[in-house]
Structures are given as structure tokens and as C-alpha cells.
A and B are shown apart, each in its own frame.
Chain A
Amino acid sequence: MIATALFTLGIVAAVFLIVPPAEGLGNLVRIIYFHVPTAWLSVIAFFTSAYFAARYLRRLEPSDDESSARAVKIGFVCVLLSTVSGAIFSKLTWGAYWNWDPRQTTIFVLILIYGAYLTLRAAVNDRRTRAKVSAVYSLLSVLTVPFLVFILPRMYFSLHPTPLINSSGSIDMDRTMLAVLLAALADATLIFYRLMRR
């Protein structure tokens, strides 16, 4: 716990003290050290929830249902934080908070799915039925991910900076920035793991 907190503090310090301002973006580039890890977690949480949902349907253990729901709750908070930070970055660099860029669409659909899942859970009173229907919904919604991640961004032109793992296989980033970003991603994953284990 303390190690995770210290690691996070280290990352925050690195973001403000070590990372150089980026060419063309200046100090705004520091937003991505918050934006990318939260977006990363919202996707990880989505798959974690689907994994526990599948496990629940196989074994019918209530603890799997609780883990699946917990992953969604963490994912929901992360997807909101990621959307807000992304919109601020978008306003400061492209001049508008929102323009239904393919990546904005993807993240918005994630918000809709997370929201629908939580609404469904809130609407079902019986514990076993709730576990069953939410597991089925979680697995059904995970089917849309390949479409949202691989097909949709190719259908429309996007202003979003190229993701780290892009089709050309190259990484266009300053080494210090890349190292801090990767460390931030590792830290976010560690925080997620801690929250899931609580």
C-alpha cells in the first residue's frame, strides 16, 4: 500500500519536474500522464469485469460477481476522468471540447456501457438474478470492443494523436516522456490491482 503511494508520488514528481515541455504542446503535454493511464484502466477494468462475469457463469460463486461489479465501478470512475481530461486537452489544442472524434465516440460508448451495467444492477433486487443478468450483459457488451477499437477509428478521420501501439510500429516520443508514461501506466495498473484486492 505504502509502496504504491510512494510510486504514485514519484510519478507525479517526475511529470512536473523531469518531463520536458513538448514541442508544439508546451506544458499541456502533462495532461497525457493522467489521461492515458485512466483510459488504459477503463479498458483493463472492462475486460476484467468480463473475465469475472464468465467465471461467475461457470462457477456461480458470489465473489466472482462482486469482483466483476467492482471492476466496473473502478472502470466507470476512470472512464469519466479520462473523458474529462481528454476534453480539456481537446479544448486547449483543437479549440473544442467535443467533436465526436472516433476516439471520443469509443470512450463515450464505454461510458454508456458502464452506465447501463450499473443501472441494470441497481434495478434488479434479487441477488442471484442480479449476478446472472449483469454477468450476461457484461459479456454481451464486450463484443462491441473489437468494433470500437479496430473498425470505428478506421472508418472516420481522427485528430487524436497516434496511440503508442500504432500500425506503423514506431514510437514517436521523447525517451524521458516515454519512460515516465510507461511508469505511469504500470502505476495505474498497480493501483487497479490494489483496489480489486481490497
Chain B
Amino acid sequence: MNSVKKKKCVFAGVLYFLLICCAVIFCFPIFMLVSRSLMTTNEATLVPARFWPEVAQWKNYAEIFEAVGEYNGTSYWWLWFKNTVLLELGTISGTVLSSVWVAYGFTRIRFPGRNIVFAIVLGTMMIPSTVTMIPLYTIFSDLHWLNTLHPLIWPMWCGGGAVNIFLVVQYLRTLPKEFNESAEIDGANDFGIFLRIILPSATPILVAVGIGAFVGVWNDLMNPLMYLNTKEMWTLALGVTTLNTSSGDIGGIPFVFAACVIFSLPPLVLFTVAQKYFIESVVMSGLKG
């Protein structure tokens, strides 16, 4: 008995040691992100590189707000932030509402053609976005939607993508069928059942879908890059990327990194707060591939 206990202790010790080593390797770049955001411009290009600044330059975080220039008297940061918030509001509401609306049709009503449409929806997961990229550009160009947020928002009102539809469908399938039957006896129609019963019961998965939509839009580079041409229409992701590539607005690594730190905070905070929902959605999606 004693030796079994001892064995377990050794096992736990070894495991902790390995995990700590791996965690240090994984988190080291993030530590460096913070560290280098606090250096002076010269310090950041020193050879050999420093692990931590001699004096932490917290003022970098204040200076980046003034360093990108203005458009008609408004700071670009403010414009990019405003665009990102508008985009988030449009996309999250579209994804959440339309995915549960569509999922209700797929799970709660039986009618011909339903399963065929569902199969097609799942099939679209296999289509690489690069194939539809160019024609989508020409379609939105014909609609005069270039350099507006429309191409980024309205597609999300069509169910929010196959993965989200699949997630919500899987969740609605776990809700008891009796919901519908008893409500129908009481004389409620499908729209009433959707609003009063299904929508409230689906809240956990909808939170997960909403968080996923938020992070997806926040991090998205390709779509803003394609559709938003002039600088005042950009999103934060695009603005932060070009801080590094354009010769222009902000000098030096520390400022770019300070911007990256601030930019990374919202998804990090959200993940920490809503970890439970995040994992729930993975459990839902992962099991029945």
C-alpha cells in the first residue's frame, strides 16, 4: 500500500515538473511581448537582446494613443475602435440570432427537404474560403459594398456559418421534444415556441457561439484586408498589423508591442471569464465529427 502511494507521488512530481517546463516554453513569448513593449526604441534592438528592460517605459502605452495620426480631427485609433465595435455588434447579433433561428427549423419542425439542406450546409464546411474569395469580392463590388462594413456583417446573418449552425443544432437536439408537443396543445405556434421556450433554453450554447463570433471578428485579418481599403474604415486588427509593416506611423518595436498587448486583452479577459462556455462548445462540436 505504501509503495503504491509513493509511486503515485513520484508520478505526480514528474508530471508537474514536465508541465511546468512546457508551460514556461509556451508562455515565454507572451512574457517577451510584455517585456519588449516596455523597452525604449534603442533597447529593443540591442544585441544581445535583453529579457527585461532596464527601466520599464510605461509611457509607451500612453504614447501609442497619440502616435497614429488623425483623420478630420479624429484619431485613427478611435475610428478603428468604432469600426471594430460596430462590426462586432452586427456580427455577433447576426450569428447568434440567425444560427438559433435556422437550427430551430432543422430540429423542431419535420418537413420535406430539411435533411437535404442540412447536408448541403455541412458540406460547405469542406469548401476552402479561398475559392469563394475572389467572386465574393466582385459580388460585393457590384453591390457597391466595398470599403463598408456590409460585406463583413450580412453573410453572418445567414446562419453564422456551418460550424455555428451545427453547434446549435446539436444542442437543440438535447432539449426534450415534449417542449413542442405540450406547447402545441396549448395552442402556441412555432414562432411562439421559438421565442418563449427554445430561445431561452439555448442560452448556454448561444453564449459560446457569441464568444466565438466575437473572437473570430476581433482576430480576423483577411476579410478587413480585402474589403476595407481606406485607412479610416479599417478595423483594429488591420491597424495593429500595419503598425509593423508600414514604414509609417509608429517608430519601433516597443510601440507596436504595446499596441499588441492592448489589442490582445479583450479576447484574453473574455476567455478567462467565460472559460466554461468555451469548453462546452468544444465538447459539443468535437464528439460527433
Asked whether A and B interact, the reply is no
A-to-B contact residues, CB < 8 Å: none
Which residues from chain B sit less than 8 Å from chain A, CB to CB? none
